[in-house]
Each structure stands twice: as C-alpha cells, then as structure tokens.
A and B are shown apart, each in its own frame.
Chain A
C-alpha cells in the first residue's frame, strides 16, 4: 500500500506584474511511496522538489491533480498528527530556546508539558544538540538550526517523515549523523521521503528514488533497477594466471590491468557471459578473486536524465518514464 500518492499533481504560478504569464513549477506528477521505504526525491535546483513537498504539506494548493498521505487527502488534520516535516533551510522563532521550541511543537500534538520536555530532551540528544539547547535560537549556527529542524520533525514519532534537503548546512559529521538517523527511522518502520540533489546521500540511503526535472517526473525506481539499464560489463579479478595463459584466453577482455601480487583486473564487455569465461580461466590455473558488475552510478543516470530533459528528448532508459507509479 502506498502511504504517499500523487496523481497528476500540477502547480502553475503566474509570473510578471503587468502581464502575468503562467509558469509551470510542476506538471502532471504521479508517483507513489510504499510503507517503510526511504524514498529519494531527486532533481537539479529549480526542478520542483520543494514545490512538491509544499503541495504535500498543503502550504500551497495544486492547480490540478491530487495528493494523499496515509490514504487521506493532504491537509487533513488527522494526517498531520502522523507525519513530520522539515522545510528547506528552516527558520524558527529567534527568542525561543531549542528546548522551548520542541516543547511548543510537542504540545501541538497533545503532549503534556512533562512528556513534551522528556521528548524534547531525547530528540535533542538524538540530533546532537548538547548544552546549547538552553540558548535562544538566534545564537544557533545554520547547522544547529538544521539539527533542531530535524528534531522538530520527529517530535510526534511520525509514521511518515518529509525532509527537504536534510543535509543542507551540515558538516561531514552532521551529514553522517543524519544518514544514521534516517536509517534508524527506516528500521523503526517509518517511511522517509527526502528531497536532495546530493546523489551520494540518496545512493547510500534510498530504497527507491524519483528524478524530477523541469517540473516533470523523468524516472523512478530502485537504484539497482535504474542503474542496471546502464550496465557497462563486468570486472573480474583473478590471480595465478600466467601471461601466456592470459594472451591465449578467448575471453575478449576490454582491458587487462595488472594489480600487483600476480593479480589482474579483467574488464568484460556487457555482451560477455562470465559463466563461460570463468571455467576456462580456472582450467588455465587462475583463481577467481572477485566478479562485479560494472554499472553506471546514480550520478551517471541522473546526469543523463537531466540532459535528456534539457534537450527535450525522451529518456531512452529508465524503469519508468514520464508517468511513474510504484
């Protein structure tokens, strides 16, 4: 069952004062996110990621289409009790301390004061805010505000968390902490929807991703599925193979790279079937060290999708085209 679902979600703005012209921030976006997934919503700057999140939070209203969270329309108060949201570059009340801010939000979910304080303290520990929790937020750095922002998104133990660029403003340790936090959320059964243009984060965390370009869904699927379409062959590492045996082999290796210690990295083209080559090499005295598929990275796939969209070409690969469903 999809816990997040959009259907033909479209948002147009009027731009220009004297002669307003419609600008399509989002066009016909259809996708779904399943229970317990870590879903990466990727795209270059200005692609429509934040617009989508704002539509899901009903901070803006769609021109057409619809969106549901947990089987109910977005904006339903019963839904908001079960979700958490971190906005991009969040900002909170300067004069409140981190503790007070979290208590304030906790009480909106019906927490009693003592329970709210306990929860605030636990979450601030979890995001790495120490004694600074008693300082007013005006004294916080961008990274610390981001950590507080993540804590406030979790104040109600949400079933679904929406994080807009959660790594923004964080130092390497902060990024690692947030990655670990997202994985802990996943392990608890929480669905995490996060937007990012940092592909390494998505690659490390996501079970599935969607790529949005110029307001349209360009592709979606699991990272394995998406990058498998750009498999570039195999890398076979062997040892104990003589130069003669290597020369006489009929493997059709693309490249042969000596690795030292008598080992060689052999690159096989995608058309080669490794199961046929390996017995021959073993007969020639080789020991198989490893065999790995050579795949395009998510970055390669992402760049191809963005370029295709910019050239107004339909992508030639990808699990799901412009209309995607989970």
Chain B
C-alpha cells in the first residue's frame, strides 16, 4: 500500500507541474470569454449558458487529460525507459499500475474540483450583478448546489475513461489506444440505444451483438447529468450512489485486467 501511495504521489507531483496547468488555463479562458460575451448577447439565459458551457468545458478538458495522460501513464514510462529504475526498486508491477492510476485519478479530481470552484466564482459574479427581477427567469439558482453532483459524476466518468485508457495502453500502441478509448467514450454514451437496438433494426444478430457490446462497455450515459442539473431536474442520491458503485466496479475490473496483462509483459 505504501509503494502504491508513493508511486501515486510521484505521478501527481509530476503531472501537477505540467498537465493540470494547461487544462485549467484553457478552461479559465473559455469560461471568462463566455461570461463576458454571453452576458451581452442573451437575456435571462446567461446563467444557464454559463452552466452548460462550464460543465461541458470541464468534461471535455477532463476527457482530454484522461485519454492522453491515461495512455501516457504506461507508454511514456516504457518508451522513455523511466520504468526501468522504478521496477528495479521494491515495487511490483501491479503496484506500479495501481499507483500510476491513482496518481492521475487524484490529478483529475483536483482538476475537476478547481474547475468547479472557478465556475462557482463566475456564477457568484452573475448572482451578485443580476437584478432581483431578472433572476426569476432562471430555471435554477445561479449558485445551485446540484452543480456539484454534475461535477462529481464528471469526475467519476473521467476515472472510468482513465482506467480504459490505461488498460488499452498495456497491450496496444499509443495511437490505437487513443482511438479505442475515444470509441469506448462514444459508445458508452449510446448505451441505451445499443441495448434497445432491436427496436430499430430487424437483424437479430446485430441486435444481439449490440446488446453484448452494451454489457461490455461502461454506461457513461448514466454519469451524464449535466443537462438535468442545468434544467433543475432532480438527481437522486440513489442514482449518484449506484452510478459511483458501478463505475468503481468497472474501474476495479479494468485495473485487474491491466495488472494481469502487464505482469508478464517484456519491457524491451
């Protein structure tokens, strides 16, 4: 456990000096530009659009970090040979995999937390500058606590995608890993469509295959409550809990598979 924590700390320290900065600067720029422009252009929709934009930007930037840096966790170490020194220390390959994953997971969670805070700061500004009458047109209050639920599930989704990226990178090339991870992300957002494909197509074989894919792929649609939160549709605690638990199980399975694949891999 100690080795895992140290490896994770190393990943966090390494990444926090480089990776997170790009994501946050980009996010802050998008958010600020949107705030000032949209405040001028829209009447009554400004807060809703800022929420939409803030959540979407957080999700996209997080996805970028999860895919590219999730794949880099193993491939960069192997390609640059920094893994040689690490695995010659008292660290097992499974500790390496889990530590690397947790390090990036912490980075992502911190990233999402900072973006959450940034969005609340912008929303607080709007709350403060908007006259009382104009606020009545808002579907939900600017400083809606439910936004935290959306951000929490964005973080959970990013943790799943990171695990997918890490797993794929243990046996395939970086380019293929990126392509497959993005494919998993897209398919994961069409889970229900895949499950009920028999309503649309006549081919039973195709419907069976689609249903099989549905059961193998993570159901990322469940983790997407951005629209619901913006439109003040309640997101229950049970939904949050079930989504987090099923995602945790999926991550655990992927990490187990990653360690099994990586355990006997020759590091040429």
> Which residues of A are at the interface with B, using a C-beta cutoff of 8 A?
13, 54, 57-61, 77, 80-81, 83-87, 89-96, 100, 104-105, 107-110, 136, 149, 152-153, 156, 162
Q: In the complex, are the beta carbons of B89 and A105 less than 8 A apart?
A: yes
Contact, CB under 8 Å: B89 / A80 = yes
- A96 x B14 contact (CB < 8 A): yes
Nearest chain B CB to A140 CB, angstrom units: 13
Q: Are B88 and A57 in contact (CB under 8 A)?
A: yes
Inter-chain contact B3/A108, CB cutoff 8 Å: yes
Contact A95 B18 (CB under 8 A): yes
Q: Which of A13, A87, A109, A149 touches B90 (beta carbons < 8 Å)?
A: A109
B14: A residues at CB distance < 8 A: 93-96
Q: Which of A94, A95, A109 contacts B89 (CB 8 A)?
A: A109
Closest Cβ–Cβ distance, residue A277 to chain B (whole Å)? 55
User: What is the total of A-B residue contacts with beta carbons within 8 Å?
Assistant: 82
CA distance A318 to B267 in the complex (A): 34
Question: Measuring CB to CB, which residues of chain B are less than 8 angstroms from any residue of chain A?
Answer: 2-3, 6, 9-10, 13-15, 17-18, 80-92, 264, 266-268
Shortest C-beta distance, A95 to chain B (Å), equals 4
B128 → chain A closest CB, angstroms: 38
User: Of A59, A81, A156, A162, which contacts B267 at CB under 8 A?
Assistant: A59
16 A-B residue pairs with Cβ-Cβ distance under 8 Å, sorted by A, are: A13-B268, A54-B84, A54-B267, A58-B87, A59-B83, A85-B85, A92-B85, A94-B14, A95-B18, A96-B10, A104-B6, A104-B10, A104-B13, A105-B89, A108-B90, A108-B91
**A-B pairs with the 4 shortest C-beta distances?**
A85-B88, A87-B84, A60-B266, A95-B17
B85 touches A90 (CB 8 A): yes
Task: Note all chain A residues with C-beta closer than 8 A to B88.
Answer: 57, 59, 80, 83-85, 87, 162
Is B92 within 8 A of A77, CB to CB? Answer: yes
CA distance A53 to B18 in the complex (A): 33
Considering the complex, give the chain A residue whose CB is closest to the CB of B16: A95
Residue in B13, B85, B267 with the greatest tally of chain A CB atoms within 10 Å: B85
B119 CB, nearest partner CB in chain A, Å: 28
User: Across the interface, which residues of B come within 8 angstroms of A96, CB to CB?
Assistant: 10, 13-14
Chain B binding surface SS class? helix
Contacts of B90 in A (CB 8 A): 77, 80-81, 108-109
Residues B85 and A152 in contact, CB atoms below 8 Å apart: yes
Contact B267 A91 (CB under 8 A): no
CA distance A86 to B89 in the complex (A): 11
Instruction: Name the CB-closest residue of B to A162.
Output: B88
Return A316 CB to nearest CB of chain B, in Å.
35
Q: B87 to chain A: which residues have CB within 8 Å?
A: 57-59
Q: How far is the CB of A88 from chain B (nearest CB, A)?
A: 8
Question: In the bound complex, what is the Cα–Cα distance between A109 and B13 (angstroms)?
Answer: 19
Q: Are B6 and A95 in contact (CB under 8 A)?
A: no
What residues on B are CB-neighbors of A153 within 8 Å?
85
Q: How far is the CA of A105 from the CA of B83 in the complex (A)?
A: 12
Closest to A105 in B: B89
Given contacts A87-B84, A90-B81, contact A108 B89 (CB under 8 A): yes
Contacts of A162 in B (CB 8 A): 88
Out of A57, A77, A104, A105, name the residue touching B84 (CB < 8 Å): A57
A119 to chain B, nearest CB (A): 14
The residue from B6, B18, B84, B268 contacting A107, defined by CB atoms under 8 A apart: B6
Contact residues in B for A60 (Cβ distance below 8 Å): 266-268
By beta carbon, the residue of chain B nearest A136 is B17
Distance in angstroms from A146 CB to nearest chain B CB is 12
Interface contact B81-A91, CB-CB below 8 Å: yes
CB distance from A317 to the nearest CB of B (A): 35
Q: Chain B residues near A110 (CB, 8 Å)?
A: 2
Which of B80, B89, B266 is most buried by chain A, counting CB atoms within 10 A of its CB? Answer: B89
The residues of A that contact B264 with a CB separation of less than 8 Å are 61
Contact yes or no, B82 A59, CB < 8 A: no
Residues from chain B with Cβ under 8 Å of A93 in the complex: 10, 14, 82
CA distance A92 to B85 in the complex (A): 8
A110 to B90, CA, bound (A): 10
CA A110 to CA B3, docked complex, whole Å: 9
Which A residue's beta carbon lies closest to that of B3? A108
User: What residues of chain A lie closer than 8 Å to B18, measured between beta carbons?
Assistant: 94-95
Residues of A close to B17: CB separation below 8 A: 95, 136
Q: Which A residue's beta carbon lies closest to that of B10?
A: A104
Given the interface contacts A95-B13, A104-B10, A108-B91, does A87 sit within 8 Å of B267 by beta carbon?
no
Q: Report the Cα distance A13→B18, complex, angstroms.
A: 37
Complex: how many Å from CA A96 to CA B85? 15
A60 to chain B, nearest CB (A): 4
In whole angstroms, what is the CA distance A147 to B38 when docked? 55
Q: Which residue of A lies closest to B266 (CB)?
A: A60
**A89 to B81, alpha carbons, bound, how many Å?**
9
Interface centre among B2, B6, B82, B84 (most CB of A within 10 A): B84
Residues A87 and B89 in contact, CB atoms below 8 Å apart: no
Q: In the complex the two chains form, what is the Cα distance from A84 to B85 in whole Å?
A: 9
| A57-B88, A105-B89, A108-B89 given; A100·B13 CB < 8 A | yes
- Residue in contact with A87 in the complex, picked from B81, B92, B268, CB distance below 8 Å: B81
Q: Give the most central of B14, B80, B92: most A CB within 10 Å.
A: B14
The docked-state distance in angstroms from the alpha carbon of A92 to that of B82 is 5
Chain A residue numbers with a CB within 8 Å of B6 are 104, 107-108
The answer on a CB contact under 8 Å between B85 and A149 is yes
Q: Report the bound CA distance from A21 to B82 in whole Å.
A: 29
B85-A87 in contact (CB<8A): yes
> Which A-chain residue is minimally distant from B88 (CB atoms)?
A85
